[in-house]
């Protein structure tokens, strides 16, 4: 018989919080009970908009005795400190990506969660959508034979065109490699296994960016991180990939992810989305098109997966360990670009188990 939904406290009531709050307030295995932000008014406003009982400071959420799981949607520099405080207070944590902005703090976070016996999760949870889950299942079942090479591209003119407060995206430990790389690299390591080594080139087109929208329009941002990174990735099991992550391109090209195998080529749906369409091309024939319908998934499904683990002991897929591993790969790519050399990725990694095919976040299961 059902127990009760996992009680969530959300911290970081900014741009992406609307998507999380829209979804998490309708997923029955979660109950959002508090929203926090450095700007308490912003937290109160979001709480009111989404019918959440309490809005206030980040501390009020972390100390809230009702809260079991903190969903941390703060800017990357605050991911580590907020998650650490939450784990110290005995709360499970779901962090937006990147897990933190450096490997020392991210590995400390993984260790702290282990020490405390608490769950630590990390975005992206887009790979839990039916689009990428079906892609991973098809590849594992041999739909394209043995995977050989992959190509991933996400390029656009930069978040200052649409984000009202994009300075953090040009700060240390972010940039397109760490901001959008996680969608593609998470999917690639889930599909192709651990990374052996990487090489890369990176550049900065404009040392200063100007906010284009919102109340900060006209403000200048000093760019502190590469805004274009191209990487070559060698996977331990033999496959290779090439990826481009860029905020320097006037031509927007997103969701480009293709995997070439010995028996065919699979065109994956956008790894930054939850559904889409898969195309498989084989032997000169017309592409086989596999539509992947939405099963009500959206940002927040990683927290649902974790909630079910908290109540039932089922596995968590979008783990902090996976987020840390992806950060290790991204850091190796950055080092390879900075030092113009091939960098080995010397870390163990096991892909997360697939979700059951009929998995749905909109069902009440706990």
Ligand X SMILES: NC(=O)c1ccc[n+]([C@@H]2O[C@H](COP(=O)([O-])OP(=O)(O)OC[C@H]3O[C@@H](n4cnc5c(N)ncnc54)[C@H](O)[C@@H]3O)[C@@H](O)[C@H]2O)c1
- Residues lying near ligand X in the complex (CB under 6 A) are found at 11-16, 37-39, 42, 58, 73-76, 78, 82, 96-97, 163, 165, 179
78/259 with CB nearer ligand X: 78
- Distance (Å, whole) CA 265 – CA 36: 45
* Closest CB to ligand X among residues 78, 139: 78
The tokens describing 294, both together, are 């939405």
Sign of CA dihedral 41, 84, 99, 92: negative
Q: Minimum Å distance from CB 170 to ligand X?
A: 12
Q: 69-98 burial, b if ≥16 CB within 10 A, otherwise e?
A: bbbbbbbbebbbebbbbbbebebbbbbbbb
Q: Which DSSP category does 168 fall into?
A: G
If the CB atoms of residues 38 and 103 are measured against ligand X, the closer one turns out to be 38
Shortest distance in whole angstroms from residue 139 CB to ligand X: 25
Given a contact cutoff of 8 angstroms between Cβ atoms, the answer to whether 130 and 294 are in contact is: yes
DSSP 125-150: -GGGSHHHHHHHHHHHTTTTSSEEEE
- Name the minimum Å distance from CB 49 to ligand X: 14
CA distances to 39, 86, 357 from 270, in Å: 33, 32, 19
Is the distance from CB of 123 to CB of 318 less than 8 angstroms?
yes
| Nearest residue (CB) to ligand X, 11 versus 307 | 11
* Integer Cα distance of 212 and 359 in angstroms: 40
What residues form DSSP beta bridges with 8?
A: 32, 69
CB of 184 to ligand X, least distance (A): 14
**Residue of minimal CB distance from ligand X?**
14
Least Cβ distance, residue 3 to ligand X (angstroms)? 30
Among residues 74 and 190, whose Cβ is nearest to ligand X? 74
Q: Measured from the CB of residue 70, what is the shortest distance to ligand X in angstroms? A: 11
Based on CB atoms, which residue is closest to ligand X, 37 or 64?
37
């Amino acid at each position: 018989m059902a127990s009760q939904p996992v009680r969530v406290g959300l911290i970081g009531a900014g741009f992406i919080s609307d998507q999380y709050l829209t979804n998490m307030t309708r997923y029955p295995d979660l109950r959002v009970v508090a929203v926090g932000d450095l700007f308490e008014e912003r937290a109160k406003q979001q709480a009111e908009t989404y019918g959440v009982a309490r809005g206030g400071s980040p501390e009020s959420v972390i100390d809230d005795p009702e809260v079991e799981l903190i969903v941390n949607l703060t800017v990357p520099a605050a991911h580590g400190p907020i998650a650490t405080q939450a784990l110290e207070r005995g709360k499970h944590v779901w962090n937006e990506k990147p897990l933190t902005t450096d490997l020392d703090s991210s590995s400390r976070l993984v260790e702290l969660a282990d020490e405390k016996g608490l769950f630590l999760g990390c975005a992206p949870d887009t790979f839990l959508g039916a689009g990428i889950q079906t892609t991973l299942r098809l590849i594992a079942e041999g739909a394209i034979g043995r995977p050989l090479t992959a190509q991933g591209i996400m390029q656009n003119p930069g978040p200052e065109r649409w984000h009202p407060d994009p300075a953090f995206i040009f700060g240390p430990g972010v940039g397109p490699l760490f901001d959008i790389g996680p969608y593609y690299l998470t999917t690639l390591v889930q599909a192709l296994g651990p990374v052996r080594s990487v090489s890369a080139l990176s550049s900065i087109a404009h040392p200063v960016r100007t906010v284009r929208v919102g109340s900060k329009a006209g403000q200048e941002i000093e760019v502190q991180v590469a805004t274009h990174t191209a990487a070559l990735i060698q996977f331990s099991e033999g496959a290779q990939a090439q990826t481009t992550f860029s905020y320097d391109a006037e031509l927007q090209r997103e969701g480009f992810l293709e995997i070439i195998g010995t028996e065919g080529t699979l065109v994956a749906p956008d790894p930054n989305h939850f559904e889409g369409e898969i195309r498989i091309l084989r032997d000169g024939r017309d592409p086989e098109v596999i539509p992947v319908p939405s099963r009500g998934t959206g940002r927040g499904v990683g927290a649902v997966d974790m909630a079910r683990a908290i109540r039932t002991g089922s596995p968590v897929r979008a783990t902090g360990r996976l987020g840390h591993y992806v950060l290790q790969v991204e850091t190796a790519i950055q080092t390879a670009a900075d030092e113009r050399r091939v960098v080995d990725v010397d870390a163990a990694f096991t892909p997360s188990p697939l979700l059951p095919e009929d998995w749905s976040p909109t069902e009440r299961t706990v």
